[in-house]
Structure 1
Amino acid sequence: MPAEKAFAVLVLEDGRSFVGVPLGADALGQGEVVFNTAMTGYQEVLTDPSYAGQMVCMTYPLQGNYGVRDADAESARPWARALIVRWACPAPSHHSSEASLDEYLRRWNVPAITEIDTRALTRHIRINGAQRAVLVHEPAAPTQARLDELVAAAKRVTPLAEQDLVAETSRTKQEEWLEPLPPELRTRRRSDGAGLLVAVVDYGVKTNILRSLRERGCRVVVMPHTATWADVQASGADGLVLSNGPGDPAVLDGPVELARAALGRIPMFGICLGHQIMGRAAGATTSRLPYGHHGANHPVKDADTGRVHITSQNHEFQVDAVSIPAGDFYVSQRNLNDSSVEGLGHRRLPAFSVQYHPEGCPGPQDNQHLYDRFIDMVRSGAPVAKVVAGMKEQPRPRKVLILGSGPIVIGQAAEFDYAGTQACKALR
């Protein structure tokens, strides 16, 4: 057995380098570096097909403390090209853990680096934009000549826009999705979608999108990315979901044509990449964000309800607001951080889309109601604004009991309960 290598090296195309400690597999990692701000959910991030072609830096410093289990995966395998963390817990502690993060990465041949300044890396990407990079494990500290070699290798990495990542992550044949729901979903299963058949076009679909539909009683048929309107018609589906996925929507002519043909013929819901596909089908353009949205705490305002929701996001591209043709399509949701388009609705037809992930996983569950909105739209055939107007308003709480941590020392002022104090300020 070869000796373990002592150094891990991450080199960006602009020459910035980070030397740390190896984690995971001794393999070459190459792709575009993005950062994710979620505090948990590293396994869901690794297995989200939307991360195909990318190396993920987790900004929260501690990762791996609760291990991994196969039931939490968002697909059959990890799609991220590499993982970058400040510190990885070597001995996870959780009753359902099946392996450590290091063991999981080795099993799937995913390289990783730890014990580097992830704050500095994140700041560098925020200032300079997305970077192609390579990650290697080395037996000795890299010389300047070796770093120069790695910079050249990083510059040769194929950009996301030039890779057919959707074809890489999609299923190759149509199938009904019959995987059993996990116990926590079986106990809260509902019948809202009973009797409905929903076609989901797989551009890199997350498992929890399929679970969210099945949880509501829908039958789900999953189609490959090459599906056409004729395929959807032949399936007998009552509703159509355009899934999330990786890469640049500008190169997806087939999916855009499907969305254009389906509009007005079947109720349609686009998620993440599916939202961008719907935007292009509406006649809008798409463009790349400076460093993407990756995290579980992005505030979004819904114009149809006036409410603000915290969302889980993972995308590099956006629908350009100024390019949306005047008329039937309108911007239904916006990001409160940068005002980017987070949702589209159609004024006359049953079609809407969101840029974020309503199922969370990882992230907040604030937006699970969008699957209910879609089911109501399928049943009624009404445009989304009318569906929203007819949905039952959830009662707002009038009183809230906050159980804080209390004073550390008897007689200490309440402001030392930081979490409780912040909650009071927010509710006020």
Structure 2
Amino acid sequence: MKGYLVLANGRVFQGKLLNDCQTAGGEVVFTTAMIAYQDVITDPSYYGQIVVMTYPLVGNVGLNEHSFASQRAMVEGLVLREATAFPSHWEMDTDLITFLNDSQVTVLTEVDTRALTKVIRSQGNMGGIITADLSHKDDLVDRAREALKRLDGDLVQHVSRHNIGYFGSGCKRVVMLDLGTKKGVVTSFNLRDCEVIAVPAVTSAADILLLRPDGVFISDGPGNPLALPYVVETTRALIGRIPIFGVGLGHQLIALALGAQVARLPYGHRGSNHPVKNLRNNRIYITTQNHGYTIEENSIAGTDILVTMRSLNDETIEGIRHSIYPVFSVQFDPEGYPGYSDTGIFFDQFIESI
């Protein structure tokens, strides 16, 4: 069946609807990852978004539950150049289309994803609607604009846990403020002899301290950090009382708690091949990223923030630390692949600080 992606600027991309789900609305973003498509589909940081895969062939090794970033699909829609019809891998549990059908994720294939990506690169992320019916285009454009506005709200409430979870055991106890974390974070701490206590995003600083943690980890997650004042308040109350490490959305919230500001990037950083420079040792890391906001450069003056890392693509801030207290954060995913063997050291640094 023919399908269409209608953008908020009125541009229409034609393709083929690959499953039974015929409509989807959300922010249209692209990822440059060439592998790990199932990590993208199940990453809570993509909640509510229509994701364009720039790599032309997707699904050739199927999916297996061991590699999921979370327990379920998180994307609102998926736009592809081509989906593999005959996947094959010895660990495959299911194929891409079956999983997306079961998860009710709308898939549009046979799209000129190169042209679509160039539109996003030149005009920025925008709302979009996937549909099978173009008869009311003006209404669809309005809906696409509204879809982007909805994503400025608190998205963390849709992906954070609702109760406390206990994972593993070890000589150190880490309380994880779960804003929509990936499974790899818990595994990374457990492999380093740490017990992880995961708590909901709404947990207060007082309740976190009652769990007697050795350190607090603020996770990645979706959406606008400015929509999470309650997490900023919690973070601010913990600074100076306990070591803190944040990644992704957690990195931005730590910056807000320290008095800096954040701003939306034109089209974000999404993919597994983003080069980042460590300003302390001049080492370059190839990182996995998924974020649409960054710390405003001019806002850190007069704060206790020290910049530790920068993107080599656009010079945006990728790492910070507090000038006095054991508080630091990075914008990328230390547990993501590729790059784990390099950037996993930030988990080690956090554990050393506690």
The TM-score by the shorter chain falls in which range?
over 0.9
Aligned to 1:370: 346
RMSD: 1.5
Q: Structure 2 counterpart of 1:166, which letter?
A: V
Question: Aligned to 2:147, what secondary structure does the other structure show?
Answer: coil
Q: TM-score, normalised by structure 2?
A: 0.96
**Matched ranges for 1:14-163 at <5 A:** 14-137=9-132, 142=134, 145-159=135-149, 161-163=151-153
Q: Structure 2 counterpart of 1:302, which letter?
A: N
Distance change in 2, residues 1:221/1:329 (3 Å): same
Distance of 1:218 and 1:366 partners within structure 2:
20
Aligned to 1:383: none
Is 1:321–1:331's contact at 8 Å kept on the other side of the alignment? no
Percentage of identical aligned residues: 41
Q: How big is the shift at 1:255?
A: 0.8
Pick the aligned partner of 2:167 from 164, 177, 182. 177
Aligned to 2:291: 315
Distance of 1:16 and 1:249 partners within structure 2:
29
Distance of 2:27 and 2:175 partners within structure 1:
32
Instruction: Please tell me whether residue 244 in structure 1 is matched to residue 220 in structure 2.
Output: yes
Is 1:130–1:290's contact at 8 Å kept on the other side of the alignment? yes
Is 1:29–1:135's contact at 8 Å kept on the other side of the alignment? yes
Q: How big is the shift at 1:220?
A: 0.3
Larger Rg: 1
Q: How big is the shift at 1:159?
A: 1.8
Question: Aligned to 1:366, what secondary structure does the other structure show?
Answer: helix
Is 1:270–1:352's contact at 8 Å kept on the other side of the alignment? yes
Range with bigger deviation, 229-238 or 272-281 = 229-238
Q: Structure 2 counterpart of 1:93, which letter?
A: S
* Structure 1, gaps ≥5 residues long: 1-5, 179-192, 379-428
* Structure 2, gaps ≥5 residues long: none
Deviations 1:2-59 (A, max 9, x none): xxxx112111011111111112342421000000000011110011110112110000
Aligned to 1:199: 175
Q: Structure 2 counterpart of 1:16, which letter?
A: R
Q: Structure 2 counterpart of 1:267, which letter?
A: P
Instruction: Please tell me whether residue 219 in structure 1 is matched to residue 195 in structure 2.
Output: yes
Pick the aligned partner of 2:312 from 336, 343, 354. 336
Q: Structure 1 counterpart of 2:215, which letter?
A: G
Distance of 2:162 and 2:20 partners within structure 1:
28
Deviations 1:82-124 (A, max 9, x none): 0011000011110001111111100100011111100000000
Q: TM-score, normalised by structure 1?
A: 0.80
Q: How big is the shift at 1:63?
A: 0.4
**Matched ranges for 1:408-427 at <5 A:** none
Distance of 1:57 and 1:365 partners within structure 2:
27
Range with bigger deviation, 206-215 or 129-138 = 129-138
Pick the aligned partner of 1:232 from 200, 208, 218. 208
Q: How big is the shift at 1:299?
A: 0.8
**Matched ranges for 1:247-396 at <5 A:** 247-326=223-302, 328-361=304-337, 365-378=341-354
Which has the larger share of strand?
A: 2
Q: Structure 2 counterpart of 1:47, which letter?
A: T
Aligned to 1:417: none
Q: How big is the shift at 1:302?
A: 0.8
Range with bigger deviation, 321-330 or 281-290 = 321-330
